[in-house]
A and B are shown apart, each in its own frame.
Chain A
Amino acid sequence: MADDTVRDEEFEGFVQLRETPEEIAFEVRAQEGALWTGGRLLIGIWAFAFAALAFAYFYLRSANNENLWRPKGITAPTSAGAAIFAVTVACALLAIFGERRFRSGEALDWEVAGWTAVLGALVVVGLQIWQLTELPFFPGSSGYASCFIGWAVMNIALVLSGAYWLETLLAREIRLRRAVAQDGGAPRSTLPAARLFRVNLNGCTYFWGFIALVGVFFWVLFYVL
């Protein structure tokens, strides 16, 4: 045996695992459950993070120290804000629409929608960074300005994490396609890999719905109120 491979003796002391078909089925169901739970927990984690930002917004707004919550005329660039909001919501709608088409067997529709959503997410990140360079106020000039900077940083992180999740699923589907082609394709296959993929996709779609809700909520806070 070549030096760069693991020798069988390395497994001395380890009894080899004997999995019955029932045990394998149990493990797959457990993994499906874990993916479902993990997706929803992730939303909970981000929800509490953004709740902290919302708390900061309302706390500073109500405190209005030195009358510097939001001096008159101070608003983040509205056109960029509207574009960020619109593209974010569009990405989420594409993710949701794509998943519905996937569930009805149209994997290609989901792929197109998904890649478009990933591209849209990158556009959101680009717009958010560009908007930071065009702000008409100094970051520390008011409570509103501070919260806006905090929102921009957190929104970039949120959208990037959604884009990463979706991109990894799209890349995975490309590799999965051939493996499950004989079994009805990724939308229909009963093979464990396809089942896990579908649960993962479902979680990702919920996450994009959450991103859109966050976008709507903070758009109202920063541009409408």
Chain B
Amino acid sequence: MAIETTQPGGIEYPGEEAPTPLQPVSRRSEWLRPHAGWAIVGGVVGYLIGHWLGNVIASGYINVQGSGQNDVATVLGLSLGVAGFLTGIGALNYPLAKMIGREPPPAVPEHNWVRYFRMTEDHKVVGLQYTVGVLLFLFTGGLLAMAIRTELLSPSSHVFGPGIYIALVGEHGTIMMMMASSAVVGPLGNWLVPLMIGTRRMAYPRVEAFSFWIFLAGYGVILTALFFGGFPTGWTGYAPLQTQASGGMDSYLVGFAVIGIGMICAGFNLAATIINYRAPGMTWSRVPIFVWAVLATTALLTLATPTLVVAGLFGVLDRTAETAFFVNEHGGSNFLWENLFWFFGHPEVYIMALPGFGIVMEIMPVFTRKPLFAYKVAAAGMLGVALLSFFVWQHHIFQSGINPDMRPLFMLTTELISIPTGFLFLVALGTLWKAKIRFDTPMLFCLGMLFNFLIGGVTGVFLSDVPVNVTVHGSFFVMAHFHYTIMGGLIFALFAGLYFWIPKMTGKTMNKRLSKWHFWTFFTFFNLTFFPLFLVGILGQPRRVFEYAANLQTLNDISTISAYCLGASFFFFIINFIWSIYLIPHDAPDNPWDSRGLEWQTPTPVPWFNFEHIPVVLSDPYHYGEPDAPPVADLGRVLVSAGGAPAEAVGHGDVSPPGDGGDLDPRPPIL
């Protein structure tokens, strides 16, 4: 049935105040206001000041004179560079104004292109900023991956030396992991969550915007590592190599800490929003499954990431103030880094995986026209995964720094976590069961994600087992495993989400043929790239080494050629995007997929304030295929029905007016 998406306009209701006209606000010239250009200038100036200051402070130190490497100057330069960048974008304006008691200035809508280069309080703009930022990370990391695979074309003829090769590997890994930590929560979490829970705004919109700009600053910091000689540790930054490395290691430590702060801010804002800003009627049992996924992820972002920031601080202190946290000879321990890093690092895996599952489970009911199977099990599974992820980190150090007697315990906890993860998989399969599937591009990416994640997940169960772990540790088998879970899981889910929500985000329809070309090339070459790496791993090829046994060349060459094709497959997306959005645009209808999701009940493009009236939610959004399904929500007192009962079948008297709350208000009273 057709979906009513119109909202009433200009209707007066008793008790309503007349609309407050938007007041003209005095402004400086557009070019003088903070924007990305000033941020870059601020970053450069900050770096120069910091570097100069570091030289003043530390150039006389014996170790600096002996080595010619001034880590104090590098760290101060990068830190003040980030501070300058944030000052230039205007992130510090309100925090400083608060010190003299100022209230935040009223948010004024902007609809020119310049808003994408500014700090903004519009969550939809921040979501699009994140989308571009994440794709930029992905592109950079992808180029580095091509360089790595090029080196591995031949076992003995080299394009790069071993030093450059390991720098490329480290840079690729770090950029990709940082990108992946925000790949879904940043673009789709920020864009969608307020619309899905029926609110007009984020709880902390300035914190949200700050999280994006500091994320971007962290990207710049990580890239500077290439100019300081890279870092030899890979993305895990293990000591004692960390302590001995050149200036690129400073970029790694500062960059990880900076992005960590951004991750904490993003999680902080989203958690407060989901808990407090749900519309009347949006009880916990009606919250969309994607929002559950984001909520579980925010718990990990806010609680696990501080450990990473502190570990980064310790690393910086070791390299600048000459403490000895990770120096065994002076009472420290290199295993301390491994523990702190993986206490963050393993929850990080679920920071990446959970939102991906959220997307898949949100999209599948739309294309199967069936209710989400076992909704409550899915929500519980996500919380279970989030909780258990704090108790498994030591499986990363089975081979080092762990009492052997502790291995069975952490083997058990790791195998335990496969149970709630299995729940999530079964929920997805249950939704597919006996469904008449519409094989549109978002659904294809969802199915691709399930296929890939199954391989990644099953090999993960093998790896949790101590004997297997000891056998294949540090090999390409591990590398293939986590590429199947992260790239095969998260990136496939990200593209499923982008293809699904781009019509709502941009108001334009993507070209279907190009979309499907993208999927099939991406899926095929992804598997051809990474599946051979399981085999070379089992046959003994170690990670992070630029030479390998000659008998492994065929498998490596298949992988490398496929990797080039995999990289090329992204051009289908880029060309499609430019073609469909800018060159030959086709306006998207308000609800092209016939979805019951609250976000689809808004007009396209979504107004600045999302909802003209705060909606009253009447049911969860998964009653597909049910003839007597209740409407999803009352939007401004016009009942909206999608795939269920006709709107007129439910009397207006059945719902409370907006804001009345009453029994529908899910939140307890405060104070």
Q: Does any Cβ of A come within 8 Å of B651's Cβ?
A: no
Known A38-B203, A46-B306: A30·B311 in contact at CB below 8 Å? no
Contacts beyond the supplied A18-B18, A21-B15, A65-B329: 4 A-B pairs with Cβ under 8 Å: A17-B609, A34-B275, A56-B340, A175-B101
Name the contact of A15 in the complex, choosing from B322, B607, B659 (C-beta under 8 A): B607
A87-95, A139-147, A204-212, A216-224: which one contacts chain B? A139-147
Known A17-B20, A38-B272: A139·B322 in contact at CB below 8 Å? yes
Name the contact of B21 in the complex, choosing from A1, A16, A195 (C-beta under 8 A): A16
A2-10, A109-117, A120-128: which one contacts chain B? A2-10
Query: Across the interface, do B322 and A45 meet the contact criterion of CB distance under 8 Å?
Result: no
List residues of A (13-59) whose CB comes within 8 Å of B's CBs: 13-27, 29-34, 36-38, 41-42, 44-46, 48-49, 51-53, 55-56, 59
Q: Does any Cβ of A come within 8 Å of B583's Cβ?
A: no
Query: Across the interface, do A41 and B272 meet the contact criterion of CB distance under 8 Å?
Result: yes
Nearest Cβ on chain B to A207's Cβ, whole angstroms: 14
Q: Does any Cβ of B come within 8 Å of A134's Cβ?
A: no
Query: Across the interface, do B331 and A16 meet the contact criterion of CB distance under 8 Å?
Result: no
Write the chain A residue with the least CB distance to B25: A6
Name the contact of B321 in the complex, choosing from A6, A139, A202 (C-beta under 8 A): A139
Query: Across the interface, do A30 and B203 meet the contact criterion of CB distance under 8 Å?
Result: yes
Q: Does any Cβ of A come within 8 Å of B324's Cβ?
A: yes
Query: Across the interface, do A25 and B100 meet the contact criterion of CB distance under 8 Å?
Result: no
In the assembly, what is the distance between CA of A23 and CA of B328, in Å? 60
Query: Across the interface, do A164 and B22 meet the contact criterion of CB distance under 8 Å?
Result: no
B26-34, B248-256, B585-593: which one contacts chain A? B26-34
Q: Does any Cβ of B come within 8 Å of A174's Cβ?
A: yes
Q: Could you say which residues of chain A place their CB within 8 Å of the CB of B671?
A: 32, 195, 198-199, 202
Known A21-B15, A59-B339: A45·B306 in contact at CB below 8 Å? yes
Q: Does any Cβ of B come within 8 Å of A102's Cβ?
A: no
Query: Across the interface, do B311 and A52 meet the contact criterion of CB distance under 8 Å?
Result: yes
Write the chain A residue with the least CB distance to B298: A41
Write the chain A residue with the least CB distance to B203: A34
List residues of B (123-153) whose CB comes within 8 Å of A's CBs: none
Write the chain A residue with the least CB distance to B277: A30
Nearest Cβ on chain B to A169's Cβ, whole angstroms: 9
Query: Across the interface, do A153 and B317 meet the contact criterion of CB distance under 8 Å?
Result: yes
Q: Identify 11 residue pairs between A and B in the complex whose beta-carbon atoms are under 8 Å apart, listed by A's number.
A: A6-B24, A20-B16, A22-B15, A26-B614, A29-B667, A34-B272, A34-B273, A37-B275, A41-B268, A55-B339, A146-B330
In the assembly, what is the distance between CA of A15 and CA of B343, in Å? 48
Nearest Cβ on chain A to B456's Cβ, whole angstroms: 28
Nearest Cβ on chain A to B402's Cβ, whole angstroms: 12
Name the contact of B15 in the complex, choosing from A20, A26, A68 (C-beta under 8 A): A20
Known A20-B659, A33-B670, A34-B272: A154·B17 in contact at CB below 8 Å? no
| B residues at A contact (CB < 8 Å) | 9, 13, 15-22, 24-29, 98-103, 108-111, 199-200, 203-204, 264, 268, 271-273, 275-277, 280, 302-304, 306-307, 309-311, 313-314, 317-318, 321-325, 327-333, 335-336, 339-340, 343, 607-609, 612-614, 657-661, 665, 667, 669-671
Q: Could you say which residues of chain B place their CB within 8 Å of the CB of A69?
A: 331
| A residues at B contact (CB < 8 Å) | 1, 4-8, 10-11, 13-27, 29-34, 36-38, 41-42, 44-46, 48-49, 51-53, 55-56, 59-60, 63-66, 68-70, 138-147, 149-150, 153-154, 164, 167-168, 171-176, 195, 198-199, 202
Query: Across the interface, do B657 and A5 meet the contact criterion of CB distance under 8 Å?
Result: no
Q: Could you say which residues of chain A place their CB within 8 Å of the CB of B324?
A: 139-143, 145-146
Known A45-B302, A140-B327: A65·B322 in contact at CB below 8 Å? no
Query: Chain B CB within 10 Å — which of A13, A23, A202 has the most?
Result: A23
Name the contact of A150 in the complex, choosing from B20, B27, B317, B661 (C-beta under 8 A): B317
Q: Could you say which residues of chain A place their CB within 8 Å of the CB of B661?
A: 22, 26, 29
Query: Across the interface, do A139 and B199 meet the contact criterion of CB distance under 8 Å?
Result: no
In the assembly, what is the distance between CA of A44 and CA of B322, in Å? 30
In the assembly, what is the distance between CA of A105 and CA of B313, in Å? 43
Write the chain B residue with the least CB distance to A143: B331
Nearest Cβ on chain A to B329's Cβ, whole angstroms: 6
In the assembly, what is the distance between CA of A164 and CA of B307, in Å? 23
Write the chain B residue with the least CB distance to A171: B101
Known A16-B21, A66-B329: A56·B26 in contact at CB below 8 Å? no
Name the contact of A172 in the complex, choosing from B98, B304, B311 (C-beta under 8 A): B98
Query: Across the interface, do A11 and B22 meet the contact criterion of CB distance under 8 Å?
Result: yes
Query: Across the interface, do B659 and A1 meet the contact criterion of CB distance under 8 Å?
Result: no
Query: Across the interface, do B317 and A146 meet the contact criterion of CB distance under 8 Å?
Result: yes
In the assembly, what is the distance between CA of A55 and CA of B17, in Å? 56
Nearest Cβ on chain B to A31's Cβ, whole angstroms: 8
In the assembly, what is the distance between CA of A121 and CA of B6, in Å? 55
Name the contact of A25 in the complex, choosing from B20, B268, B659 (C-beta under 8 A): B659
Nearest Cβ on chain A to B429's Cβ, whole angstroms: 35
Write the chain B residue with the least CB distance to A51: B307
Name the contact of B111 in the complex, choosing from A14, A16, A22, A55 (C-beta under 8 A): A14
Q: Could you say which residues of chain B place their CB within 8 Å of the CB of A25?
A: 659
Name the contact of B276 in the complex, choosing from A8, A14, A20, A30 (C-beta under 8 A): A30
Query: Across the interface, do A44 and B303 meet the contact criterion of CB distance under 8 Å?
Result: yes
Query: Across the interface, do B307 and A52 meet the contact criterion of CB distance under 8 Å?
Result: yes
In the assembly, what is the distance between CA of A55 and CA of B336, in Å? 9
Query: Across the interface, do B99 and A164 meet the contact criterion of CB distance under 8 Å?
Result: yes
In the assembly, what is the distance between CA of A107 and CA of B273, in Å? 31
Q: Could you say which residues of chain B place their CB within 8 Å of the CB of A11?
A: 22, 109
Known A52-B307, A140-B327, A146-B325: A18·B19 in contact at CB below 8 Å? yes
Query: Across the interface, do B322 and A171 meet the contact criterion of CB distance under 8 Å?
Result: no
Nearest Cβ on chain A to B450's Cβ, whole angstroms: 33
Query: Across the interface, do B271 and A66 meet the contact criterion of CB distance under 8 Å?
Result: no
Q: Could you say which residues of chain B place their CB within 8 Å of the CB of A195?
A: 671
Query: Across the interface, do B331 and A20 meet the contact criterion of CB distance under 8 Å?
Result: no
Q: Could you say which residues of chain A place their CB within 8 Å of the CB of B670?
A: 29, 32-33, 36, 199
In the assembly, what is the distance between CA of A34 and CA of B321, in Å? 39
10 closest A-B pairs (Cβ-Cβ)?
A: A22-B659, A68-B331, A33-B276, A171-B101, A143-B331, A34-B203, A146-B323, A49-B306, A140-B324, A52-B310
Query: Across the interface, do B272 and A149 meet the contact criterion of CB distance under 8 Å?
Result: no
Known A20-B659, A22-B657, A41-B272: A154·B313 in contact at CB below 8 Å? yes
Name the contact of B314 in the complex, choosing from A21, A27, A64, A150 (C-beta under 8 A): A150
In the assembly, what is the distance between CA of A144 and CA of B111, in Å? 56
Write the chain B residue with the least CB distance to A139: B323
Write the chain A residue with the least CB distance to B656: A22
In the assembly, what is the distance between CA of A8 and CA of B109, in Å? 11
Write the chain B residue with the least CB distance to A157: B313
In the assembly, what is the distance between CA of A18 and CA of B22, in Å? 11
Q: Could you say which residues of chain A place their CB within 8 Å of the CB of B339?
A: 55, 59
Query: Across the interface, do A143 and B276 meet the contact criterion of CB distance under 8 Å?
Result: no
In the assembly, what is the distance between CA of A10 and CA of B111, in Å? 8
Query: Chain B CB within 10 Å — which of A36, A38, A144, A174 has the most?
Result: A38
Query: Across the interface, do B330 and A23 meet the contact criterion of CB distance under 8 Å?
Result: no
Q: Could you say which residues of chain A place their CB within 8 Å of the CB of B665?
A: 26
Nearest Cβ on chain A to B245's Cβ, whole angstroms: 17
Name the contact of A142 in the complex, choosing from B17, B99, B318, B330 (C-beta under 8 A): B330
Known A38-B272, A45-B302: A63·B333 in contact at CB below 8 Å? yes
Query: Across the interface, do B15 and A48 meet the contact criterion of CB distance under 8 Å?
Result: no
Query: Across the interface, do B317 and A168 meet the contact criterion of CB distance under 8 Å?
Result: no
Name the contact of B332 in the complex, choosing from A26, A36, A37, A65 (C-beta under 8 A): A65
Query: Across the interface, do A19 and B667 meet the contact criterion of CB distance under 8 Å?
Result: no
Nearest Cβ on chain B to A94's Cβ, whole angstroms: 20
